Amino acid sequence: MKRIILYAMLFVFLVAALTACAMRSAQSPQTSGHPPLSAQEMLVACQDCHAQATPQVYQQWYQSGHGFATVKCYQCHGTFEDLRTEPSLDSCAVCHSAQWEHAEGKTCWQCHPAHTFKAGN
């Protein structure tokens, strides 16, 4: 009887693990707003590609306080696996906890235009 329960629990665990893996692999960068990338392209820093692909966004970032501080894209937007076109407030709070406490339910970019954060803004 104990073996049957053990095997049943093992079976449920395996099904849950396989389901989680299948769901994770089904979430492609395309769904998150980024075109699919090859393994080689994933090794290139975001800014190296975006300087050519989206030069206006790159220049906004480069001339912002985040660019001066060399804040990397993934620090706000996540990696290819969990890319967010709009950063979560939790990612902002990592560096800006004092400002985050006074945000009063607003997102940072409601007051500060995206990628144009200037020192002193």
Q: What is the pLDDT along the chain (121 residues), one digit of tens a residue?
A: 777 875 666 555 555 555 554 444 433 333 456 788 888 988 888 899 999 988 998 998 899 888 888 899 889 888 877 888 888 888 888 888 888 787 777 888 888 777 776 554 4
Q: Where are the domains of the chain?
A: 1-31, 41-121
Angle at 82 between CA 12 and CA 68, to 5 degrees: 155
60 CB-near residues (< 8 Å, 6+ apart) = 114, 115, 116
**pTM of model > 0.75:** no
Distance of alpha carbon 110 from alpha carbon 118, whole angstroms: 15
Other beta carbons less than 10 A from residue 15's beta carbon: 10
